Amino acid sequence: MAFFELIPEDRLAPEAKEYMEIAKRRARSDRIAHTYYVLAKNPRLVKAWVQAVQELIPIPNRFGAAQGVAGMLIAHAKGCRTCFDASRQALSRLGFDNGTLENMCQVPAALPLPERDRRFVEFTLRVARDPQGLKPEDFREMEDAGFSKDEILEMIGVAAYWNLATTLAMAVDAGLSEG
């Protein structure tokens, strides 16, 4: 028996329902990740997750599709199937075909993106995977490549969001598994 339960729509607390509706509008879908339905047991967590995505992954954003590619690669690197599938679905709606997306996961260094976007994705992925390994010269290199300090901080925010999302989703998925 699973440790967590998916809260049915008719048992959602009003605050959880309100924020889940925001998530659905943002996703342009009537469906959202099952993680929300587990977190709905504690509406404060749903609210926090929705507010995090709104603030750290704004629509529109200055980095465009590169932000989605970074999310997909972070989810892939962390092994989060829920986040990976959601980000791939969003990128598919932007016109990326499955072959291109699969190749990005297999060979991230060969991203078929403009140089600035590729640097954004690589740096954001590095921040998500190894923040303690960053050195002052890494930031200067990004600044020399034309990124402002504000943009670099935004990249850190994108990495932080995807670390939050993958942790939430993978832990909830573990609690939903039958064991």
- Burial tier of 80 (Cβ tally within 10 Å: 0-12, 13-18, 19+): buried
Instruction: Considering the domain delimited by 65-171, tell me its CATH architecture.
Output: Up-down Bundle (1.20)
Q: Are 22 and 52 in contact, with CB atoms under 8 Å apart? A: no
Token reading at 159: 């990495």
Find the length of the chain: 179
What residues have CB less than 8 Å from 60, skipping those under 6 apart?
none
pLDDT for the residue numbered 105: 84
Contact 46, 16 (CB under 8 A): yes
pLDDT (0 to 100) of residue 179: 67
Residues of the chain falling short of pLDDT 70 = 179
* Domain residue limits, the chain: 9-56, 65-171
Hey, what are 73's tokens?
């690669």
